[in-house]
Amino acid sequence: MLQLKNISKAYGPRELFSGVNSSINPGEKIGLTGRNGSGKSTLFDIITGKTPPDSGEVSFPGGYVIGYLRQEHIFSGSDIVSEAGSALPSRARHEIWKARKILAGLGFSPESFSSPPGTLSGGMRLRLSLAKAILSEPDLLLLDEPGNFLDILSLRWITGFLRSWKGSLMLISHDRGFMDSITTHTMMIHRKKIRKFSGDTAKAFGRIRQEEEVHEKTRVNYEKKKEQTLEYINRFRAKARLAKSVQSAVKALEKQEKLVKLEKFRTLDFSFSALPLEAPAVMRVNSVSFSYNPDEPLIENFSLEIGSRDRVCVTGRNGSGKTTLLKILSGEIKPRSGEIKTHPEAVIGRYLESDTAALRPDNTVLREVSSGARITQQQARDICGTLIFEGDSALKRISVLSGGEKSRVLIGKLLARPCNLLILDEPTSHLDLESCEALADAIEKFEGAVLLVSHNEGLLERVSNRMVIFSGSRIRVFEGSYSDFLEREGWEEEREEPSPSPSPSTAPDRSTIRRLQAELRQERFRKLRPLEDKTGECQEKIALLEEERDSNTRNLIEASRNGDSGKIAELSARDSELSGRIDELYIRLQELLDEHEELSSSFNDRLNELDPEEEKSNL
């Protein structure tokens, strides 16, 4: 077990988190979430000892091994296999077959095994580092955005591998589906605190939302009570016969808990503007071929018709030609043969990560978003605000922006220019979970055609109605969604080399697992249902009492205007009684929510122990 004890970290006046107490238990697979810049990678650095905390400590038993997928890669091996094999524990150095197996799963061809690591591209260097992290057989494996340089097939392979991984795992990813398909728990950095929840991201976000709603209702309730008490004190402070009552009200006000209004977080919330196009198709591609090397064709005899409301998604291995295809269709590269007919009224809006190089370093965000667009300064300001470049942030120069911020600027340029064909290449790479959801919403609502390259299976499943598949050595069009593709055909490469899974010889008896799972679920229902009923009853009582108190407050104000001291005393006493009962109910509601979460977490852990992969889909 690894424990975080009272961990705090800040950079100058900017506090990331404080007072963090949590643990990572054997076998737990934790998804670490939080907004960009909240401190996720910093927490990893603290756990590995790379960055010291400002206070607190990280503790774990002697001999505890932590494997970390770092962004910097230093290799010394003579070839890729020996480099990967160097990470094997000393007792297993002879088991070099493990290195070959992991490397093959991560997209290395057998022909590349003897190549020097120094010849690898940035993406392949990251994969080699990932292989080494896995092969070190750590007690805890830390993966920081492993999907950034993995194609869809490698992601599917690593998903299967990590599901069967027996050690502990912490994962940072902007791909919600990828994360949820692997993890058993979610750890969230939120409002400078770190909390751990059993279950997937939906459960964690839901619980946070529920707690903050309770907090805000309680705060508003306290504020109302404070205003009413102050009005009573000010009105009757000079009345001798009410002096005792006024003094009691003053003391009650001093004791009243102070709740801070929660800051509202801004997240991406936008929509692409569509130009109308009265035509069945926006583009027709006829027998297009292209290659950088005449002896190695990349795209051959490719044909595609893009309807005016199509959602065409492109996916496949890295290096297969996906981005090249987008550049051909957007007119940046000319095909070797074939033709592309674009409707005369078609206007293309393009997002390619390589386009960040075309941003002018001396421009401000505001000027870059509005450059070449027919929009007013206020409209440009509104777009910047939508993309969380508010106020002075919109005046930052492009040269000082991070990669993620530059990507948001590219999205801003798209928003400033209406179009009827969106061409998007991996638009979620630098976005956090909430922003990825906002982008998916915007794509769904766009009233034009979309051509999208992605390896994010959740996004593909959500938006696609047609697919362009780069599989094996060919490119083809599949008529249907990504889910249809997986159901009807699946990946050719996976048929040849199935995903890793636990050995059948060690697999438990399925009928026994099913019986025990059914019994546990029935017990969970019996235990949780009464708590859910009590929670509902508590919420109903709070609503009724708040309605009664509002009515009582109106009567108290009326009595104050009329100077009816007897009525004032009666109504004030009733207000105090109602407020006290409401406060007690809010406390009881929070207790019920905590009890429900604890009990639910316990049952989910027991179910997961029976069969982690099976129960994953039921959490």
pLDDT tens digits for range 410-426: 998 999 999 999 999 99
Q: Which amino acid is at 586?
A: Y
Task: Please say which residue of 383, 398, 417 terminates a domain.
Answer: 417
pLDDT for 466? 94
Alpha carbon separation from 593 to 151, 259, 520, 532, 536 (Å, rounded): 41, 20, 21, 9, 11
Q: Is residue 75 part of a domain?
A: yes
pLDDT for 171? 93
Asked whether residue 332 falls in the same domain as residue 477, the answer is: yes
Examine the pLDDT at 239 and tell me if it is beyond 70: no
Is residue 451 very low, low, confident or very high in pLDDT (cuts 50, 70, 90)? very high
pLDDT for 362? 92
Full domain range(s) for residue 236: 209-264+514-616
Alpha carbon separation from 495 to 67, 150, 455, 471, 492 (Å, rounded): 30, 19, 19, 12, 5
Give the residue with greater pLDDT, 612 vs 217. Answer: 217
Q: What is the mean pLDDT of residues 46-51?
A: 92
Q: Is residue 334 part of a domain?
A: yes
Examine the pLDDT at 501 and tell me if it is beyond 60: no
Asked whether residue 48 falls in the same domain as residue 98, the answer is: yes
Examine the pLDDT at 525 and tell me if it is beyond 80: no
Asked whether residue 115 falls in the same domain as residue 162, the answer is: yes
pLDDT for 347? 94
Examine the pLDDT at 255 and tell me if it is beyond 80: no
Query: What digits encode the pLDDT tens for the residues 14-44?
Result: 899 999 999 999 889 999 999 888 899 999 9
- CATH number of the structural domain spanning residue 443: 3.40.50.300
Asked whether residue 198 falls in the same domain as residue 214, the answer is: no
Cβ pair 322, 316 in contact under 8 A: yes
Give the residue with greater pLDDT, 310 vs 508. Answer: 310
Q: Is residue 64 part of a domain?
A: yes
pLDDT for 242? 66
pLDDT for 518? 63
pLDDT for 349? 93
Examine the pLDDT at 619 and tell me if it is beyond 50: no
Q: Is residue 503 part of a domain?
A: no
Examine the pLDDT at 507 and tell me if it is beyond 90: no
pLDDT for 615? 39
Quick count: other Cβ atoms within 10 Å of Cβ 388? Answer: 17
Asked whether residue 431 falls in the same domain as residue 412, the answer is: no
Examine the pLDDT at 117 and tell me if it is beyond 50: yes
If DSSP states are collapsed to H, E and C, what string results for 494-527?
HHHCCCCCCCHHHCCCHHHHHHHHHHHHHHHHHH
pLDDT for 592? 81
Asked whether residue 215 falls in the same domain as residue 175, the answer is: no
Asked whether residue 99 falls in the same domain as residue 170, the answer is: yes
Q: What is the mean pLDDT of residues 442-467?
A: 92
Is residue 513 very low, low, confident or very high in pLDDT (cuts 50, 70, 90)? low
Examine the pLDDT at 72 and tell me if it is beyond 80: no
Asked whether residue 154 falls in the same domain as residue 287, the answer is: no
Query: What digits encode the pLDDT tens for the residues 267-298?
Result: 777 789 999 998 999 999 999 999 988 878 88
Q: Is residue 464 part of a domain?
A: yes
Q: Is residue 506 part of a domain?
A: no
Q: Is residue 157 part of a domain?
A: yes
Query: What digits encode the pLDDT tens for the residues 118-158?
Result: 888 767 887 888 888 888 889 999 998 887 777 888 888 88
Would you list the DSSP string of 335-404? -SEEEEEE-TT--EEEE-GGGGGGS-TTSBHHHHHHTT----HHHHHHHHHHTT--GGGGG-BGGG--HH
Taken in order 85, 91, 97, 98, is the CA torsion positive or negative? negative
Is 0.85 surpassed by the pTM of this model? no
Examine the pLDDT at 529 and tell me if it is beyond 80: no
pLDDT for 503? 36
Give CA 184 to chain center in angstroms: 15
Query: For residues 130 and 559, what is the distance between their CA atoms, to the nearest angstrom?
Result: 73
E strand or H helix at 560, and its extent? Answer: helix 510-562
Task: Please say which residue of 157, 190, 205 terminates a domain.
Answer: 205
Is residue 498 very low, low, confident or very high in pLDDT (cuts 50, 70, 90)? very low
Task: Please say which residue of 417, 436, 457 terminates a domain.
Answer: 417
Asked whether residue 60 falls in the same domain as residue 156, the answer is: yes
Examine the pLDDT at 608 and tell me if it is beyond 90: no
Give the residue with greater pLDDT, 434 vs 10. Answer: 10
pLDDT for 517? 65
Asked whether residue 603 falls in the same domain as residue 554, the answer is: yes
**Beta-bridge mates of residue 10:** 15
pLDDT for 609? 66
Token couple for 138: 């750590």
Examine the pLDDT at 610 and tell me if it is beyond 70: no
pLDDT for 505? 35
Query: What digits encode the pLDDT tens for the residues 389-418?
Result: 888 888 999 999 888 888 889 998 999 999
Mean pLDDT (the chain) is: 84
- Judged by DSSP in three states, 172 sits in strand
Asked whether residue 319 falls in the same domain as residue 411, the answer is: no
Number of folded domains that form the chain: 4
Asked whether residue 487 falls in the same domain as residue 533, the answer is: no
Q: Is residue 131 part of a domain?
A: yes
Query: What digits encode the pLDDT tens for the residues 309-357?
Result: 999 999 998 888 899 999 999 999 999 999 999 999 999 999 988 888 8
